[in-house]
Structure 1
Amino acid sequence: MLRYVIKKLLSLAVSLTVASVVIFLALEVVPGDPAASMLGVNAQEDTLAALRDELGLNRGPLARYGDWVGGMLVGDFGTSYTYRTPVSEMIADRIWISLPLALLALTLSTLIAIPAGIWAASRRGSGVDLGVMGVTQLGVAIPNFWFAMLMVLVFAINLRWFSAGGFVGWEAGFWPAIHSLTLPAIALALPQASILTRVMRSALLDTLGEDFIRTARAKGLSRAQALWRHALRNALIPVLTIIGLQFSFLIAGAIIIENVFFLPGLGRLVFQSISARDLIVVESVVMLLVCAVIVVNFIVDITYAIVDPRLRRAR
């Protein structure tokens, strides 16, 4: 087990290194000059040159990459070109919106999907199964931003149960803050719950057809007992994969939802920084999100070995 964890840690380090190089090079080839974007089209050339020197844009790519990576290793993400504020402070302010939003959405998705998938699998071919599959197909087909706007129309404008957007801040209290994140979390969670429900059902049906389940039934266990005691744990492996990928998507891919609900999270920060050509913010936030994706996948791999002893022994 320790050897397996060490191998995964080495793989994680290589993945992070490759990701940092790709992100840096991708933003290097993006057309445009951050200094010109800051000063405007009528800026004098000597003024532009002075600003480039101040921002370090005239240094070579290798030196800038080294400064960027070295700074990130000690928690220094550089200084925003536009706001003249440390990027680490901007990220710290925004992550306490994006991270709770992703966790709340993932919790809602899991609480909905796993019982629904088990319910559908245990009643395969019945009206319940067909109904659950029909609803999940609709959930997969509907874009989450359209669903978000529909929820704003119904629950914010017509029923007035929630605000149409914005975030009250954690200083207003835990429940008011969670209330502000509820609609965005639901808009993010329901499409993901539809996917997870279908995976849960499919994995459970496949496991119920295995020989060890038939052996358990032959020993006198009912179908429900075999499902809960033996099938469910083995069916969780593909489900854990999807949950890990969903968390990565929810924390890194909520740009549209954060803009629909005017949430000042990391996604909205990336959108605003791209518009302002604030590349140091873009590359730092994207690298942080990529790091979150890679670390979550590492945790999922380790969880595999914990859930399924066969994988642990094989490795």
Structure 2
Amino acid sequence: MLRYALTRFGSLAISLLIASLVIFLVVEVAPGDPASYMLGLNAQPDTLASLRAELGLDVPKIQRYLNWVGGMASGDFGTSYTYRTPVAQMIADRLWVSLPLALYALGLSVLLAFPAGLFAAARRGHTGDVAVMSATQLGIALPNFWFAMLLVLLFAIKLRWFSAGGFPGWSNPALAMKSLTLPAIALALPQAAILTRVLRSALLDTLAEDYIRSARAKGLSRRQALWRHALRNALIPVLTIIGLQFSFLLAGAIIIEQVFFLPGLGRLIFQSIGQRDLIVVESVVMLLVFAVILVNFIVDLAYAAVDPRLRAR
């Protein structure tokens, strides 16, 4: 197990290094100069040069990359070009919106998917199974930002049960959770559809095993065999998908945060791209990549803990 963990950790470190290099190169190649954006088109050359030196943009790109990576390794994400505040503080403020939103959406996804997957597996080939699979196909095909706009039209504009956007802060937790409800539902729908199909397939594969047939031969009904034996053994691939979904929800809520005007990491990326605040864009994207890779690493370790066959690889 230790050898497997060290191997996966080495893979994690290499992935982070490659990701940091790709992110830096892509952002730096993008057209537009932050200093020129801040001073405008009519800025004097000496003023522009002075600002570039103040922002650290006058040093070679390789030196800027090394300074950026070294700073992140020590917890220093740099200073925003636009707001002149530490990027780490900006990320911490926005994370208190994006992280609860991701957890909320993941919780809703699990609450929707488990009953639906169990229901479909227990009624394979019947009308209920067909209805659930049709609904999940629709949930996967439906763009979540379009579904988010439908939720706003119905529950915010017509029924006035929720606000159309914005975030009041955590001084009132109930009001804060209410403001995250519609975005969480919009994010959870496609993830619940995917999880439902995975759970149904895992359950049906498990129900075809010999030990399930033996349990049925001893007198257990299909539903009893499903609950007592099949569900526990079908959870391994399902838990893997749940872990991957969390990282996706944390990193993939950018458009939903724009629709609902939530001050999260996704909206921060959009604003920073428009303002050419390169250090913020690079740091936030790198943080999201790190979250995705870290969750995958934890899922791999958890998978190996319950499946000894993986440790020998």
Q: Does 1:251 align with 2:250?
A: yes
Preserved contact between residue 151 and residue 183 of structure 1 (Cα < 8 Å): yes
Aligned to 1:288: 287
The amino acid across from 2:61 in the alignment is P
Q: What corresponds to 1:303 in structure 2? A: 302
| Corresponding letter in the other structure for 1:182 | T
SS in 2 for 1:170: coil
Q: Aligned residue for 1:32? A: 32
Give the secondary-structure state (helix, strand or coil) at the position aligned to 2:41: coil
User: CA–CA distance in 1 between the matches of 2:67 and 2:33?
Assistant: 20
Structure 2: which amino acid aligns with 1:21?
L
- The residue that corresponds to 1:262 in the other structure is 261
Q: Which one is further off, 43-52 or 262-271?
A: 43-52
Distance in 2, Cα, partners of 1:188 & 1:151: 12
The one-letter amino acid of 1:84's match is R
- For the 8 Å contact 1:78–1:86, the answer to whether it is kept is yes
Per the alignment, residue 152 of structure 1 pairs with 152
Cα distance in structure 1, aligned partners of 2:240 and 2:145:
24
Q: Hey, what's the Cα distance between the residues in 2 that align with 1:232 and 1:180? A: 35
Q: Secondary structure at the match of 2:62?
A: helix
- Indicate the residue corresponding to 1:121 in structure 2: 121
Deviation (angstroms), 1:277: 0.7
Q: Which residue pairs with 1:205 in the alignment?
A: 204
State how far apart, in whole Å, the 2-side matches of 1:211 and 1:30 are: 58
1:84 CA displacement? 1.0
Structure 1, 22-31 or 104-113: larger mean CA deviation: 22-31
Q: State, as a whole percentage, how many aligned pairs show the same letter.
A: 75
1:310 Cα shift?
4.5
Structure 1 CA distance for aligned equivalents of residues 208 and 54 of structure 2: 66
Tell me if 1:179 matches 2:145.
no
**For each residue in 1:127-166, what CA deviation from the matched residue of structure 2 results, as whole angstroms up to 9, or x when unmatched?**
1111111111111121111111111111111111111110
Query: Which moves more between the two structures, 206-215 or 18-27?
Result: 206-215
Worse-superposed segment, 180-189 or 132-141: 132-141
CA contact (8 A) 1:273 1:282 kept: yes
- Give the structure 2 partner of residue 72 of structure 1: 72
Tell me, in whole angstroms, the C-alpha distance in 2 between the residues paired with 1:222 and 1:147. Answer: 40
Residue 153 of structure 2 aligns to which amino acid in structure 1?
Answer: L
2:135 alignment counterpart: 135
Aligned residue for 1:250, secondary structure, equals: helix
TM-superposed deviation, 1:90? 0.6
Provide TM-score, normalisation by structure 2.
0.96
| Aligned-partner Cα distance in 2 for 1:57–1:211 | 66
CA distance in 1, matches of 2:160, 2:201: 39
User: Which deviates more from structure 2 when the two are superposed, residues 223-232 or residues 121-130?
Assistant: 223-232
User: Match for residue 189 of structure 1?
Assistant: 188
What is aligned with 2:274?
275
2:235 is matched with 236
Query: How many correspondences in the alignment?
Result: 313
Distance 1:256 1:110 in 2: 22
Following the alignment from structure 1 to structure 2, what is the Cα–Cα distance between the partners of residues 298 and 260?
Answer: 31
Please state whether the residue corresponding to 1:175 is helix, strand or coil.
helix
Aligned partners of 1:220 and 1:303: how far apart in 2? 34
Q: Post-superposition shift, 1:98? A: 0.2
Distance 1:146 1:190 in 2: 12
Determine the structure 2 residue equivalent to 1:94: 94
CA apart distance, 1:81: 0.8
- 1:168 is displaced (CA, Å) by 0.7
Task: Write the distance in 2 (CA, Å) between the matches of 1:292 and 1:124.
Answer: 37
Shift of 1:295: 0.5
Moved over 6 A (4+): none
How far off its partner does 1:22 sit? Answer: 1.2
CA RMSD of aligned residues (A): 1.4
Q: Distance in 2 between matches of 1:277 and 1:244?
A: 33
> Which deviations, in whole Å up to 9, do the C-alpha atoms of 1:260-304 show, x marking residues without a partner?
100000000000101111110000000000000001101111121
Q: Is contact 1:233–1:307 with CA below 8 Å preserved after alignment?
A: no
